[in-house]
Amino acid sequence: MNKHVMWAGAATLAVCFIAGIFVSQKGFDIQPENQSTTSDDADPAAIFEPQQDLAPDLAKALEEDPADLLPPEPQAGIPGVPPDVPISINMAYVEDGRYVVRTETGHRIILTIDPDLQNDMSSMMRNYDIPHAAFAAVEPQTGRVLALVGEEAAKEPIGDVALKAMAPSASIFKLITAAALIEGEGFDPATRTCYPLAGSVPSDGNVLGSEQADEACADLGTAFGQSNNYVFSRLAHKHLDSDELLQWASRFGYNEPIPFNLPMDPSRADFTDLDPATQARAAAGFWHTHLNPLHSALIAATVANGGVMMRPNLIEEILDPDGNTIYAFMPVPYKQVIKEDTARKLAEIMVYSTTVGTAAKHMRNPKNLPPEYIVAGKTGTLSQKKPYLMFSWFVGFAPIERPDIALGVLLCNPARWRIKASYAAARGLKLWREKKARMAKAQAPPATDPAPDEELPEALKLDAPAETEPAVEP
């Protein structure tokens, strides 16, 4: 078993421990991505159903109180456990399908991470020799961290990629801009905007110019699914100033330390002193923001959870040397980010991305996921020149009707890349769905044979059908 070593120190709720245990493992029948994207002819509006029962009691309580839900005060360290002694995750082992770390004091720390998901994604990223790669997954309704993978083939690794805000948000930031337009400006997924037909990067004239030059129109859902930079930069220029944009970024957790068991870089957004066109492009994902992969999974989880961001947690349980439970995981809301109706509309336009947009190639491939398993997501791609890296993102959650996983994937690819983040995300979702299906089957009550005929009441007994000769043509 190959394991990647990470370190942990003291933090909130318990002793801080890293969760990077990586085991080589063969993967699934998902075709590697080439450098083109395709989409099928599915109608997202026809398959999307409004989410129900996404933290309804919590959302209702928070709706009544307009103030954001503040994170709880950090709890004291666990008695008897040295709070500042780093422990190598190489000490972890699998016990009853869970990762367990035994401390020098004899305490046992049970992690929330799923060994199968963690190991498979780690193995896949190593096999593709990606300079920097991260896969983070959380349970939307609880904040349990299901996977926290960081792999690096670069000659100069940065370490803990899943917790570093090293990459630009790219078009993932369109999620924040879309939330601002929907909740702050009253937009709807069907709201149409016209734009000029030009290159992929809107020029100053495209953003600020006259609408008389517009040649095409798209509704907000289609523009989001196709990651239309013109629509989003033009809408941001018309409706969102720098203060509003920064406020919405802050609501989603940018520029603040999100409490976690491990040191975690804050995602960053800075629109200071930007000219109007540059600011509008930033709202569409062109630079000026950086995103942490675990934070990206939390953003997707917020949409899946009806607008409430849960506090991420890595520790399921801590047992003292005598086997007594001295800490047990309990879900803790971090804050209300958006209204439940806004979350529903965001989920709707995220389905455009995975059904007819930039992620459809892998998310609608029956070799990866069955047609009835609908994913909500968003892709992002941006490149830097020195040193060259192509930042490929996917964030999303599934299944749409009852989400049980939200994820964020970042691949920092070289010029000759082999896969993109949507491919890796599809692989992770395929693994998770199949595991959940196996678990449900194992937990189902055993089928019982019907009672023999002679035990039925006489009136209910059925006569055996008489044997007849097969029919023949006249």
Mean pLDDT for the chain overall: 81
Phi, psi (rounded to 5 degrees) for 247: -60, -45
How many whole angstroms from its chain centre is CA 351? 13
User: Are the CB atoms for 407 and 137 separated by under 8 Å?
Assistant: yes
With pLDDT > 70 as the criterion, what percentage of the chain qualifies? 75
Q: Would you state the pLDDT for residue 5? A: 33
Taking the domain 10-442, which CATH number applies?
3.40.710.10
From the list 348, 378, 349, the residue with the least C-alpha distance to 363 is 378
Least confident range from 251-255, 283-287, 459-463: namely 459-463
- In three-state form (DSSP H/G/I as H, E/B as E, the rest C), the secondary structure along 356-409 is CCCCHHHHCCCCCCCCCCCCEEEEEEEEECCCCEEEEEEEEEECCCCCCEEEEE
What's this model's pTM, rounded to 2 decimal places? 0.80
Q: Give the residue extent of every domain in the chain.
A: 10-442
DSSP secondary structure letter of residue 472: -
- Evaluate the omega torsion of the peptide bond into residue 86 and state whether it is cis, within 30 degrees of 0: no
Q: Would you state the pLDDT for residue 67? A: 39
Which residues lie below 8 Å from residue 149, measured CB to CB, with a gap of 6+? 20, 22, 118, 121, 122, 125, 133, 134, 135, 136, 162
From the list 259, 270, 203, the residue with the least C-alpha distance to 230 is 203
d(CA 47, CA 207): 33
User: Are the CB atoms for 373 and 433 separated by under 8 Å?
Assistant: yes
Q: Which residue type does 424 have?
A: A
d(CA 281, CA 202): 7
Q: Which residue type does 249 have?
A: A
144 has which bridge partners?
A: 313
Q: Which residue type does 126 have?
A: R
108 has which bridge partners?
A: 102, 319
pLDDT tens readout for residues 231-265:
999 999 999 999 999 999 999 999 999 999 888 99
pLDDT bucket at 452, cuts 50 / 70 / 90: low
Q: Find tokens 């016209």 and name the residue.
A: 194
pLDDT tens readout for residues 197-239:
877 789 998 888 777 678 899 999 999 999 999 999 999 999 9
